[in-house]
Amino acid sequence: MEADGHWLTFLVLMLPFAGAAIAPVLVRFSGHNAAWLLALIPAFMFYHFTGFLGPVADGETVVAGYSWIPSLDVDFSWYIDGLSLTFALLISGIGALIVLYAGGYLKGHAHLGRFFSFILMFMGAMQGLVLADGFLTLFVFWELTSITSFLLIGFDHAREASRRAALQALIVTGLGGLSLLAGLLLIWNMTGLGSMSALLEAESALREAPLYLAALLLVLGGAFTKSAQFPFHFWLPNAMEAPTPVSAYLHSATMVKAGVYLVMRLNPVMGDTVAWETILPIFGGTTLIVGTLLAVRQTDLKLMLAYTTVASLGLLVMLTGFGSEKAAEAAVLYLVAHSMFKGALFMVAGGIDHEAGTRDITRLGGIGRAMPITFAAAVLAAISMGGLPPFFGFLAKEEIYAGLWQGGGWSGLMTLVAIVGNALMFAIGFAVALKPFTGPEVETPKHAHEGPVLLWLGPLVLGVAGLLTALASTLSHRFITNPMASAVVGEPVEVYISVVPHVGLPLALSVITIVLGVLAYLMLARGREAMAATLKAIGWGPDQGFDQAVRGSVRFSSVVTGIVQNGRLDYYMTATFVALALALFVPMILFGELPAVPAFPDLRFYEWIVLAIAFIGLGAVLYARDRLTAIVSLGIQGFAVALLFMLLGAPDLSFTQFMVETLSVVILALVMTRLRLSQADHRPTGEKAVDITIAAACGAALGLMLLRVTQVPFDDTLSVFFAEYSRAIAHGRNIVNVIIVDFRGLDTLGEIAVVMIAGLAILALVRIRAGKPIAAPKGEG
């Protein structure tokens, strides 16, 4: 793959990681003001991607990259079309605001540098994910977002709740990532296509593939866990344990939208089937309703917003899977609108928490006069969230109704679901934006006043952006919505919706939504009580289920460990050797591969002598009175075999055999004296008989197998190859050594690493016994 001229994009892909490396140093020198410098990184990324707006709007796409594993045809490649470009702009644009906001929010925090590192790495991972073309590239970045979000959610690692939330997010999204990997590999295997761009070009190849449904389910497993679809939604609200800048970023532009991105990306090649148009609306619709209902229950500003994010993701999945062109356009519009207003509202919630000292909506009120700018930003965002004109959220909502109402069989039900969901989100949005700021002033833990510029800049910019993009809808449609919707639908489409209301059914539905929303807003306190009572009545949820699953697996593994590893060496040895004998014998008998009886060997007299020595050694082992003698006699037998190797023309092998024999005798003798065993073997005859049987079975099986192997016609391809090339290529006459150090050097490197690790492990074991007993870990003894 040629990549000339695309090095700048590659640089931009790597830039956040470089930023992550220098962030702690910058913070050490300039404190929280480092945010201004670090925000330049996403700002530059944003600037770089705006350069693609024109060409992509004209229908161009960019595919570029570098060869990664040429022998497996794996590339590190990226793909820029309307969909990935919009995502890249959201990630970098909102990312810049988040970095600034974090500088204000975490000012003076002891680990601010570390925080910037994490969030920049996360940004890089997310950016790589949406731009990735090759499947492996996609997967690597996908799991990288899981890992970096683990670091971010668990940032406040001293608290138990943070650690649990981080672990939960990692387990859920990480497992989903493995499911995605399986799905991608399946697609790769079925179609022979290993990149998104190739898959999109092949259009219906995937839909007609035999294992389409399996691939679909696996990929959706990844998408649904990442995008917190019911019943995997529980990790997302728990992730609120992260500092607010993280929540704002995770919820608006990044992590949780990754699954939606994947669904949108695959819509042209996997959509338009019964399975797709059934699974997605059902899960999406359920998530929408469950999310909004759970949001009503909450009193914490961040949790209210978190559950509406769950609901919004459900709406997006539902729209994408609905199958009509207009619904896909609506999903695109709503995604952009949601990124802006949710980012803003989260930052507002963080600002309130920072200035007033609490996020509990029942303990807040009347701080609008003290924090006018934050208040303004909140209202701007809430209007967009509520879908009122003239904001971008309004465009999205109108398109949602237009799309759902026109569509197929599910139309009526889905419209109803969307109305209920939107009305509740309207109520929650305004509850977050109005309740804390208006009404009589309430005593708050801190005396509220307007925060520094870093704290209100982000929400204000995003709030105003929600207005401007809607007013200039021709421009935003041309550069953002149309290219992105075209990528989701799979063919060029145009979006016409503007802030001018059109008289028609969608408008009527909007009015119904708003009326319902206002009603819900007014009755929010009562609704909360009702929901709390309902949830208490149900009692069980997936969040508890997760804990039960974790506890269950721990218990299960400790039971299994108790059985499999009971700590008795003789038990392990018996199991190992019985398994060895069975593994050798059973297939030989089952498949009738027992060797023919060999002819009587024609050996020279000295070869007979060596053989006799080996047998004498064996006899000496059996008749030895004490263990030391037995070990040394075993050495005799080994030396005789080594001698045989020498006589039969394998000097290297015999050389090694001599040394291994010597060392094993020495080490066995040392181990024996160390274990302080009694000199002789005093076991009862029964036990001895069992051991003798197992030993004889292993020996016989191995011998028979070797005989059988030598009776198969010899394939000399490899010997000829090595004989021919070892001198020519590797400059060595000793084939054995040439293979070890040259032809198969990488294997050897791995092996010596194993030798060393084994050495370290043995050393540790010996030390444990030699020294004093190690102190038991706290809490266990």
Residues that bind other proteins (CB under 8 A): 651-652, 655-656, 659-660, 662-663, 666-667, 670-671, 673-674, 730-734, 736-738, 740-742, 745-746, 748-749, 752-753, 755-756, 758-760, 762-763, 766-767, 769-770
Q: Which is nearer to other proteins, 108 or 649 (CB)?
A: 649
Q: Which is nearer to other proteins, 173 or 726 (CB)?
A: 726
**Which helix H or strand E contains 310, and what residues bound it?**
helix 301-322
Q: Which is nearer to other proteins, 157 or 674 (CB)?
A: 674
Q: Which is nearer to other proteins, 412 or 745 (CB)?
A: 745
Distance from C-alpha of 102 to C-alpha of 418, rounded to nearest angstrom: 34
Q: Which is nearer to other proteins, 558 or 678 (CB)?
A: 678
Distance from C-alpha of 324 to C-alpha of 492, rounded to nearest angstrom: 14
Q: Which is nearer to other proteins, 682 or 731 (CB)?
A: 731
Return the percent helix, strand and coil in the chain, to nearest 5.
75, 5, 20
C-beta of 72: minimal distance to other proteins in Å? 14
Q: Which is nearer to other proteins, 549 or 755 (CB)?
A: 755
Q: Which is nearer to other proteins, 560 or 756 (CB)?
A: 756
C-beta of 664: minimal distance to other proteins in Å? 10
Q: Which is nearer to other proteins, 304 or 665 (CB)?
A: 665
For residues 153 and 306, the answer to whether their CB atoms sit within 8 Å is: no
DSSP line for 362-390: GG---TTTT-HHHHHHHHHHHHHHHT-TT
Is residue 440 reached through a cis peptide bond, with omega within 30 degrees of 0 on the bond before it? no
- Alpha-carbon 389 to chain mean position: 39
SS (HEC) of 180-222: HHHHHHHHHHHHCCCEHHHHHHCHHHCCCCCCHHHHHHHHHHH
Distance from C-alpha of 634 to C-alpha of 328, rounded to nearest angstrom: 76
- Tokens, residue 14: 């790597």
Instruction: Report which DSSP code applies to 361.
Output: G
C-beta of 58: minimal distance to other proteins in Å? 39
Q: Which is nearer to other proteins, 373 or 653 (CB)?
A: 653
C-beta of 733: minimal distance to other proteins in Å? 4
Radius of gyration of the chain (CA): 34
Distance from C-alpha of 252 to C-alpha of 87, rounded to nearest angstrom: 11
C-beta of 9: minimal distance to other proteins in Å? 24
Handedness of CA 358, 360, 364, 369 (dihedral sign): positive
C-beta of 429: minimal distance to other proteins in Å? 56
DSSP line for 677-694: --SS----HHHHHHHHHH
C-beta of 719: minimal distance to other proteins in Å? 17
C-beta of 761: minimal distance to other proteins in Å? 10
C-beta of 487: minimal distance to other proteins in Å? 38
Distance from C-alpha of 645 to C-alpha of 147, rounded to nearest angstrom: 53
C-beta of 670: minimal distance to other proteins in Å? 4
- Tokens, residue 441: 């002033």
